[in-house]
Structure 1
Amino acid sequence: MTRSRGSVEHVVATYLDHLAVERGTSKNTLDGYARDLRRYVEFLQRNGITDPAAVEPAHVAEFGAVLREGDDEHRPLAASSAARALVAVRGLHKFASADGITTHDPARDVHPPAPARRLPKALPVDDVLSLLATPAPDGERPLRDRALLELLYSTGARISEAVGLDVDDIDTVERTVLLDGKGGRQRLVPIGRPALDALDAYLVRARPVLAKSGRGTAAVFLNARGGRLSRQSAWHVLKTAAERAGLSATVSPHTLRHSFATHLIEGGADVRVVQELLGHASVSTTQVYTLVTVTTLREVYATAHPRALR
């Protein structure tokens, strides 16, 4: 037989006080939890429940369904908001159980829905080619910028990996680049001939000029002071090139990396090969690019097949 100290409202007030005083939870988070738990209390009361010990797993699961589908009192919540509300409910019941207010935790096995996987933004091949053709062919920084953009798209490197490259990391004979990825993991990635040509032009004609202002760093990509190019500066290079190319799509620091992966998958590359090229620890991370391809196939089917919409 379960026992309780007071009503559900009392437990909620005690829990919020615990978060504020003992856990130091921010005001914004507390306000959000208070709103979510107030809705939860109303839901329980409509079901005739005022004692926290009377709450069962089915009640918590039903509340989750109401959050997603709405009811007579409330509109349905977005997936992220519904998940946040269930996190608040789980925290409430875990606290009540741990503090001895109840002898069971009805929310322990009720989990928030996994958030929808956001599809990476990738540019069409023609847009990538326009982007790569944009930097002017002459001058130290234009040559550097062209080499940087070509390398990002040719290897799928993160911007941090590209600016972290040293000259010895590029093997022009084997046509490979050694990238330092997350968690200290290194990977060897092939690099295409256009990117190698752009790198060669930069290393021969521009880098020595930029290096004169520095202190002899081994970095491939240098700034105007001869030091290693920063991630912020590399991101600015990409953004400026996108503006010059007149691209309407939003370009982020990962745009060329996402485009690299998507174009490989669309070209028939095995997802596990793309995983290795991207340096993903798990193939599940890479599989999101297969969703992009399926989405594209659906769009083509919907517009091209005479009975697709029937």
Structure 2
Amino acid sequence: MDAVEDLPEPLAEAVAEFARHLSAERDRSEHTIRAYIGDVTGLMGHLARLGRTEVGQLDLASLRSWLASLNTRGRSRATLARRASAARTFTAWAHRTGRLEQDVGSALATPKTRRTLPDVLRAGEAATLLDAAADHAAAGEPVDLRDHALLELLYATGIRVGELVGLDVDDVDAGRRVVRVLGKGRKERTVPYGAPAAEALERWLRDGRPRLTRPAAGPALFVGVRGGRLDQRAARTVVHRRLRAIPGAPDVGPHGLRHTAATHLLEGGADLRSVQELLGHASLGTTQIYTHVSVDRLRKAYRQAHPRA
């Protein structure tokens, strides 16, 4: 893997300036910046191996040869598509800042990805998961109360795990049964939740959170066993651990609960644009995959049930 410090100085400086641009001007998250910089560093490493030490020497042929080298190393289509996108963002910035005479990345085609249908829980499996969490929470142990509220909220809202752990207590409007979520691109949206999630949240806030939280947690809605804000890894562990106890259920994780919520909404009659808004998708096309999930499930049910399928 290429490292910035191993690049020729002009290329390393360009990568550093690009990182500052993403942070200061584009206001991208740390995770997104790391991904972009990793991809662009790889591109600059490839350029250096071609004997070129200036960003201005980057051309379409070198971009294509970089992607071709990744393809021969077995990178997936999704990875190639992501790296092509990062390269286009970089070349557009380099052109605007005078480092490239032309935006050579604008002519770079995106490798088409095969969109695989996500695994989702059936309605009965989701109910079993949440009922089991409620049974554990009945004893009143703080961690069980937290896990029940966490699972109910993930399934009720379809929010991302990063959005979940970023929630503060004040983001929950119990009277209106909505939660204020800060999503990708720091875009804020309001997502409703139902009575079961409301009851689980109320018990967690009343009986569980005060017994776990420490000053380091600040206003965090969900806290870990050490009293600080719950992190994404711990939240994923909760979901995977609880799902493993459900016979026959796929181990889908938090993102699988998001897929499940979207699929069940559409199967229940919700319109696509409403689901798009709830999930915080920038494009309706991203949401449309859930219609394919529903059709796929319908097709399987038809094959199993119809005598002339």
TM over 0.5: yes
User: What TM-score do the two structures reach when normalised by structure 1?
Assistant: 0.64
| Distance (Å, rounded) in 2 between the aligned partners of 1:240 and 1:249 | 12
Give, in angstroms, the shift of residue 255 of structure 1.
Answer: 1.1
Aligned pairs for 1:115-126 (under 5 A) are 115-126=113-124
Report the counterpart of residue 305 of structure 1 in structure 2.
Answer: 306
2:129 paired residue number? 131
Q: Is 2:154–2:254's contact at 8 Å kept on the other side of the alignment?
A: no
Distance 1:307 1:79 in 2: 39
Counterpart in 2 of 1:229? 230
CA distance in 1, matches of 2:67, 2:171: 51
CA distance in 1, matches of 2:246, 2:70: 48
Q: 2:252: which partner in 1?
A: 251
Matched, 1:186 2:188: yes
Give the letter for the 2:234 counterpart: S
SS at match of 1:228: coil
Q: Which segments of structure 1 move beyond 6 Å, counting only runs of 4 or more?
A: 29-32
Matched, 1:153 2:158: no
Paired letter, 2:114: A
2:146 is matched with which residue: 134, 144, 159? 144
Counterpart residue number, 2:59 = none
Distance change (3 Å), C-alpha of 1:294 and 1:35: closer
Say which SS state the counterpart of residue 187 (structure 1) adopts.
Answer: strand
| Closer, same or farther: CA 292–215 of 1 in aligned 2, 3 Å | closer
| Change in 2 beyond 3 A, CA 1:199/1:240 | same
User: How much has 1:117 moved relative to structure 2?
Assistant: 1.3
Contact map agreement 1:79 1:113 (CA 8 A) in 2 = no
Question: SS where residue 188 of structure 1 aligns?
Answer: strand
Deviations 1:269-310 (A, max 9, x none): 1010000000001100000000111112222233333333xx
Change (3 A) 1:186 1:35: closer
Percent of aligned positions with the same letter in both sequences?
Answer: 42
> Structure 1 residues 233, 23: CA separation in 2 closer, same or farther (over 3 Å shift)?
farther
**1:20·1:30 contact (CA, 8 Å) conserved in 2?**
no
Q: Which residue matches 1:285?
A: 286
Structure 1 residues 17 and 142, CA, compared in 2 at 3 Å: closer, same or farther?
closer
CA distance in 1, matches of 2:152, 2:300: 29
After TM superposition, the score normalised by the length of structure 2 is 0.65
Give the match's secondary structure for 1:229.
coil
SS of residue in 2 equivalent to 1:178:
strand
Q: SS where residue 197 of structure 1 aligns?
A: helix
Matched, 1:33 2:69: yes
Say whether the 8 Å CA contact 1:214–1:225 is kept in structure 2. no
CA distance in 1, matches of 2:131, 2:71: 52
Counterpart Cα distance in 2 of 1:194 and 1:17: 56
Could you tell me which residue of structure 2 aligns to residue 22 of structure 1? 52
Alignment partners' CA distance in 1, 2:164 and 2:116: 25
- The 1:280–1:110 alpha-carbon spacing in structure 2 relative to 1, beyond 3 Å, is closer
Instruction: Please give the root-mean-square deviation of Cα atoms over the aligned residues, in Å.
Output: 3.2
Counterpart Cα distance in 2 of 1:160 and 1:255: 14
Equivalent position SS for 1:219: coil
1:206 counterpart SS class: helix
**Structure 1 residue 201, shift from structure 2 partner:** 0.6
Q: For structure 2, list consecutive stretches of 5 or more residues without a partner in the other structure.
A: 1-45, 55-64, 85-105
Q: Which moved more, 1:222-231 or 1:270-279?
A: 222-231
When the two structures are aligned, how many residues end up with a matched partner?
Answer: 225
Deviates more, 1:126-135 or 1:231-240: 126-135
Aligned counterpart, 1:49: none
Higher helix share: 2
Give the structure 2 partner of residue 71 of structure 1.
none
140 and 282 in structure 1: CA distance in 2 versus 1, 3 angstrom threshold: same
- Shift of the 31–179 alpha-carbon distance from structure 1 to 2, 3 Å rule, reads closer
Gaps of 5+ in 1: 1-15, 37-76, 88-107
Task: Say if 1:31 and 1:168 are closer, same or farther in 2 by CA, change over 3 A.
Answer: closer
How many angstroms does 1:20 deviate by?
A: 4.3
Task: Return the alpha-carbon distance in structure 1 between the equivalents of residues 260 and 117 of structure 2.
Answer: 12
SS in 2 for 1:116: coil
Q: Distance in 1 between matches of 2:124 and 2:53?
A: 52
Cα shift at 1:111: 5.5
The farther-off stretch of 270-279 and 237-246 is 237-246
Q: Distance in 2 between matches of 1:267 and 1:113?
A: 35
Higher CA-based Rg = 1
Cα 1:23–1:286 change in 2 (3 A) is farther
- Output the amino acid matched with 2:164: A
> Which residue of structure 1 aligns with residue 267 of structure 2?
266
